[in-house]
Structure formats: structure tokens, C-alpha cells
Amino acid sequence: MKTPVFRSKLKYLAILLLAAVLLGNRGFRNLVRNYMEYRRLTAEKAGLELQRKDLERQLKEVGEKPAIEQAARRELGLIRPKETEYRFPAPKESDK
């Protein structure tokens, strides 16, 4: 009859042997490395797709004439002929 101590030692030996075979095997290490790279690339792809959608939206907005005019007014301070631009000073802290 086998003793419980012998069985537990046999289990540990089997686990150790399995770990040595898997970790010592180049193919398994390459499989794990490739899987980790696949997950990283999948996450990067998702981020790039979000960025692409945002850029497409911006491109669509820029292509529209009102968006161009609004950007020119905001960034360059342009006004149309016969328009008057009013600028007000920022409120002081004591006025708030």
C-alpha cells in the first residue's frame, strides 16, 4: 500500500515535471509570448479605431463651410465686412 506521504510527493513531482517540460519548452514560451503580444496589439487596435473615428468626425466638420468660418473667427479673430466686434473685459473677482 502506498502511503499518503508518498502520494503527495508523487503529486509534487508530477507538477514539477510538468512545469519543467512546459517552461523549458521553447514552443510553449513562444506561444505565451505571442498570446501576450496579441492582447497588447488588440488593445492598441481598439485605441487606434477610436482615434480614427474622432479624426473622421473632425474631418467632416472641417469640410463644412460654417465650421471653417467659426474656426477662422475664433482662432484668427476675423470678422465680416461691415460687422462690429465687441470685446468686453473679464469680470473682476470683486464683481462676482
26-63 and 65-76 helices, crossing angle to 10°: 90
C-alpha cell at position 15: 507538477
**Per residue of the chain (96 residues), what is the pLDDT tens digit?**
567 777 788 888 888 888 887 777 788 788 889 999 999 999 999 999 999 999 999 888 777 777 778 777 778 888 888 888 888 888 888 776
Can you tell me the distance from the alpha carbon of 94 to that of 96, in angstroms, rounded to the nearest whole number? Answer: 6
Can you tell me the distance from the alpha carbon of 61 to that of 27, in angstroms, rounded to the nearest whole number? Answer: 50
The model's pTM: 0.47
Domain-wise residue ranges, the chain: 4-78
Query: What is the pLDDT, as a whole number, of residue 44?
Result: 98
